[in-house]
Amino acid sequence: MMARGLRFGWQLLSSRLGLAAVLCALLWGWHVYDKRQAIRAAREGFVQQFELTAAQVELDALLRRMAAAAEANRALQEKVQVAQGEALRFAAELETFENETQVNPDGVVDTGLLRRLRSN
């Protein structure tokens, strides 16, 4: 039985019809393999494009954050400079006030200062 099946298989493969069947099977196999490769390549291309787009969007967001941080830093530096200028002006004003005002060394309020304080 097995020998008969093998003989029939060999006769089929050695005939033109068998050769055509083998050729069609090989072409079909190549077609399936090629289609799978094309799908895999397309999927990888889409994934790479998606990852590239995501990276570009993230880069744009980081650049916007950096620009906003730089602007906030500049504004803060301006406010610090203004505050330092005000502090220097106030220190000079305080020093001038200390130089022009007579303070009792005993720390007691004299009558002239008391009158000025009450009048304000």
- pLDDT tens column, 33-90: 999 999 999 999 999 999 999 999 999 999 999 999 999 999 999 999 999 999 999 9
Phi, psi for residue 106 in degrees, rounded to 5: -80, -10
pLDDT band for position 115 (cuts 50, 70, 90): confident
Residue, of 34 and 99, whose pLDDT is higher: 34
Determine the 3-state secondary structure of 105 from DSSP. coil
Alpha carbon distance 98, 96 (integer Å): 5
Instruction: Name the residue with higher pLDDT: 120 or 74.
Output: 74
| Separation of alpha carbons 24 and 92, rounded Å | 100
C-alpha closest to that of 22 among 34, 33, 32, 10: 10
Backbone angles phi, psi at 89, to 5 degrees: -65, -45
- Considering the chain, what percentage of its residues have pLDDT values greater than 90? 58
